[in-house]
Amino acid sequence: MSVRLAVFDCDGTLVDGQAGVCFAMEQAFVQTGLPAPDRHQVRRIVGLSLPQAIRLLAPGEAEAVRTEIDRQYRDIFRAAREAGQLVEPLYDGIREMLDALLASGWILGIATGKADRGLAHCLATHGLTGHFVTLQTADRHPSKPHPAMLEAALAEAMATPEQAVMIGDTQYDMGMALNAGVRAIGVDWGYHTVQELHEAGAAAVATSPANLLELLG
């Protein structure tokens, strides 16, 4: 049987991580002496690497200020995680969908703007660590939509672009897929609109995890 690789984004696709991201970003700005950013704008950057996200949220600030926001964010997010205060629930139907894909012969990966430690904690919390053969994070790659994460996932899974699909909730995920020559499928339960996903190159947009299974065949 030929390889079939499904690579997932994490926040906004597998888990709803916006609460923790918004809290940490707001506090990071305040601790740096800046007004907290609008929550809608913070949700829009979920999925990007942290430095890229901060550049978009604080475009007029000096690099030293953005570096301090980055440091504060990492400290606040880590403290919340270690205190057991970080809530990143799985979306309904995700576990069943992942199990069904594995049972039908798919191999699974993740390409995320999370750091290695954050992704490891998230997967372990939900008992999903063993579901994925390749984990690509912002610690080792440029931010989406650069194709590096997907290219590394393809190499680790020994798959070609034609054998893979990228599944995500943002235009950054769709752009990364197109840049890597991989089919892109959006999901409508995340942080960007269906129209944005189609405009960014989604071949289809799933309306539920069950519908995603149908789209993947």
| Catalytic positions | 9, 11
- CA 26 to chain CA mean position, Å: 20
DSSP string over 67-117: HHHHHHHHHHHHHHHHTT----PBPTTHHHHHHHHHHTT-EEEEE-SS-HH
For β-strands 183-187 and 204-206, DSSP reports them as: parallel
Residues in the chain: 217
The C-alpha atoms of residue 71 and residue 31 are separated, in whole angstroms, by 10
Tell me the Ramachandran region of residue 12: left when phi exceeds 0, alpha when psi lies from -120 to 50, beta otherwise.
Answer: left
